[in-house]
Amino acid sequence: MESSDDDKPDEPNNAADEDDEHVADDGSGSVAENDEEDFPVATTTLSIILLVIAGIYGYSAYIADGADQPAPYNGFTFTYTQQGFYETTVQGAKGETALKFREHPSDVENISMAGGVDAILRAIQARNGTLYLSVAPDYAQGGRVGIALFEVSKITNYMFGITTEGAVTQRNVSDKYPVANCGNVTPRTGVITIEPGNNTVIDQENGCIEITAESTEDVIRAADRMVYSLLGIIE
């Protein structure tokens, strides 16, 4: 699909004067640099919630019956809840927090994850930047993908304090969300893309975090794998 010059993502801005950068919508729906407007700080925004609601029917496929089944991993104690979650407690900036996951860490530890993801997020945090969780067309309507986005945003927002927005990788996906892809990465704008592929991996290149998954189910598995790593549960 051809696009005009106005729709092309901004080139990464590596200028030394990073404090003057602000993230804004340029009117075309794509992420752009602007000197007049900032997004709210440290909020898990409505766009993330809308992406979850848009695929809410996919959520029911993941609800399961179960009894409490302690499943320790790397010093963390897990409980399997009747709703089908693995629950553990972690220490966050605001104290101890109970977190629920779809997958146990032993089930996702073999998913390949590139080094440097934590450093990318820390850099965005230090610059009070914005992180976009951006979904490709094939996965834009998946309920499970919405769940994965929400789970990642809980960590990037609560644990890292990063303003986290939902987005799409291409304009033809939806007019409700901004467009963000790896071309939009700047020192204060982070992007995590979620796209289909032949393997389920978490990669990063030039500051862009890329989750590739074989299926929507694997999107949740990859999201849990990344979050476990960021929390230090999977080392």
Name the token pair of 128. Answer: 């009070």
Q: Closest by alpha carbon to 226, among 116, 86, 62, 91? A: 116
Asked whether the beta carbons of 150 and 52 are under 8 A apart, the reply is yes
- Ranges under pLDDT 50 in the chain: 1-28, 32-44, 46, 50, 52-68
Task: Kindly report, residue by residue over 190-218, the tens digit of the pLDDT.
Answer: 999 999 999 999 999 999 999 999 999 99
Whole-angstrom distance, CA of residue 147 vs CA of residue 160: 19
Asked whether the beta carbons of 210 and 161 are under 8 A apart, the reply is no
Domain boundaries, the chain: 20-62+111-230
Whole-angstrom distance, CA of residue 51 vs CA of residue 168: 10
Task: Kindly report, residue by residue over 80-116, the tens digit of the pLDDT.
Answer: 888 888 999 987 666 788 899 999 999 999 999 999 9
For the chain, give the number of residues.
235
